[in-house]
Amino acid sequence: MIKVPSSQDSLVGPYGYTPLAVAALIFSAMGFVTWLNGPLISFVRVAFSLSEFSAFFIPLTFYFSFFLFSVPTSLIARKLGLKTGLTLSLLISALGVAAFGQFVAWRLYAGALTGLLILGAGISLMQVVINPLVSLLGPPARAAQRIAIMGICAKTAGILAPLVLGLLVMRDIGAVAEKVQTATDPAIREALLNNFVQAIYAPYLGMAGILVLIAAGVALAPLPNLEAPVIVSGEGSQRRLFKPHLVTGFIAMFLYVGVEVMAADAIGTYGQSFGLPLDETKFFTSLTLTGMLIGYIMGFVIVPRFIRQEVYIQLSCAVGCLLTILAVLTQGYPSVFCVALLGITNAMIMPTIFPIAIRGAGSMTAMASAIMVMSYSGGAIVPQIYVWLKPVFGFQGMFAMIVIPAYLIILAYARRYGRVGLTEQE
């Protein structure tokens, strides 16, 4: 295995920019298919006549797949290697995308969720391989900066995803929903819905084809195998995987992904709770992702030139708490805007937590990465808790009751473990 370079001056060390460029392309594809989930919640509510709770099975299925598949895919990644693992992950993702589009066109909701589960399996394998690659591609102090570049790519694609879906597939969703509700003839109602869902088939088949082409490109690209240097902190420490900064990092990441999904995927539902029109709320995910793009650019410029990544995340959490309070104190569009601004504060949290958590994993880097990817299941559980309890506490109150404690726990993690092992690695 190639060891991580020690120079703090280079973004990528001796590896060059080719692996970073390949990773950026993969993150763009991953970001596009991932952030379709936000508008899909509204889409399936209309297409399958679902309750809000049932529609939130979209993020639940997708993000829970990380919990199911991360460890098995880490074993696959270790056996296949970096290049083959990434290629296979893209092909599995393509299969999931194609299956989702086909089952939606057939109006089989269980089948559509199965397609999302397959897509999640592919992205789980992708995350297990790609996150360590980016984290370890250069000096530890610039890991968050490298992941910020990936975030810029993913969120740029993510901004486009709801816009493309909204314009190609959901452009008449408000009118369709109204016609379906007022239709007295079941045959007319079914005809409206069948015509509505057919529009999703061609775009999803096209996305599957693009993923296959990217898989072919990855198979031909030169990529290094990387291993995290161990943290020497006492006898036997190198043999222990479940160190405190990994275990608590799992908790912090679980909560963070839940907050990220709340601010991005659930923002449309949040806006609808104010009575805002469906034809507008379908684009709200792009607002949050625009905020995240701004946050990534800010992080790339600021970290570590002016502030350490461990300090930046603490400031992000503090501002996130403030914005959440403002969201609760306001109504309508100002409240939605405060939620969208959480994208800025969220941007650099994952890029900071992930490198901290896998520090010192050594030969167990793939397994440590898999454990962290499992924590992405927070995106499945946290929004479901929100939907389940918001009738009791109100949609704004429940939002704050979830988001503020999560930010405070993440802040505490960054303060406690932000510098763990950094000196030894440098």
pLDDT at residue 95 in the model: 97
pLDDT tens digit sequence for 49-74? 899 899 999 999 999 999 999 888 88
Question: Please, which pLDDT band fits residue 6 given cuts at 50, 70 and 90?
Answer: very low
CB-CB contact of 149 with 20 (8 Å): yes
pLDDT of 425 > 60? The answer is no
Provide the pLDDT for residue 37. 87
- pLDDT computed for residue 238 by the predictor: 44
pLDDT value for 278: 86
Q: What pLDDT, on a 0 to 100 scale, did the predictor assign at position 385?
A: 94
Can you tell me the mean pLDDT for 372-400?
93
CA distances to 44, 243, 248, 422 from 234, rounded to whole Å, are 53, 12, 20, 16
H/E element holding 227? strand 226-227
**How many CB atoms lie under 10 A from the CB of residue 39?**
27
Please return the burial class of 187, using the count of CB atoms within 10 Å of its CB with bins 0-12, 13-18 and 19+.
exposed
Residues 6 or more apart whose CB falls under 8 angstroms from that of 115 comprise 96, 97, 98, 99, 100, 101, 102, 103
pLDDT of residue 226: 58
Average pLDDT over residues 351-364: 81
Residue with the bigger pLDDT between 82 and 316: it is: 316
The better pLDDT of the pair 268, 351 is held by 268
Neighbours of 267 (CB within 10 A): 25
The pTM of this model reads: 0.81
pLDDT (0 to 100) of residue 220: 86
If you average pLDDT over residues 143-153, what whole number do you get? 78
Q: Which sign, positive or negative, has the C-alpha torsion 334, 340, 346, 348?
A: negative
Q: Which of 222, 149, 231, 258 is nearest to 420 (CA)?
A: 231
Across 264-275, average pLDDT: 93
Model confidence pLDDT, tens digit, residues 75-121 = 887 788 778 888 999 999 999 999 999 999 999 999 999 999 999 99
pLDDT at 9: 58
Q: What gap in Å lies between CA 350 and CA 106, rounded to an integer?
A: 37
Kind and range of the H or E run holding 220: helix 201-220
- 298-332: b or e for each residue (b if 16 or more CB lie within 10 Å)? bbbebbbeeebbbbbbbebbeebbebbeebbeeee
By the 10 Å C-beta count (0-12 exposed, 13-18 middle, 19+ buried), 279 is classed as middle
The pLDDT assigned to 232 comes to 42
Identify the pLDDT of residue 17. Answer: 78
Confidence of residue 225 (pLDDT cuts 50, 70, 90): low
pLDDT of residue 237: 42
Answer whether 281's CB lies under 8 Å from 52's CB: no
pLDDT: which is higher, 114 or 191: 114
Whole-angstrom Cα distance, residue 390 to residue 387?
6
Q: Name residue 226's beta-bridge partners.
A: 2
- pLDDT single digits (tens) 278-295: 888 988 999 999 998 898
Alpha helices in 136-169 (DSSP H): 143-168
- Identify which has the larger pLDDT, 305 or 225: 305
What whole-number distance in Å separates Cα of residue 347 and Cα of residue 70? Answer: 23
Closest Cα to residue 196, out of 58, 42, 61?
42
**Integer Cα distance of 127 and 187 in angstroms:** 44
> What is the pLDDT, as a whole number, of residue 188?
86
Mean pLDDT, rounded, of the chain: 85
The burial of 41, by beta-carbon neighbours within 10 Å (0-12 exposed, 13-18 middle, 19 or more buried), is given as: buried
For the chain, domains (ranges, CATH) are 2-425 (1.20.1250.20)
Percentage of residues of the chain with pLDDT beyond 90: 45
End-to-end CA distance of the chain: 18
**Are the C-beta atoms of residues 23 and 15 closer than 8 Å to each other?**
no
Q: If pLDDT is split at 50, 70 and 90, which confidence band does 5 have?
A: very low
The more confidently predicted of residues 28 and 230 is 28
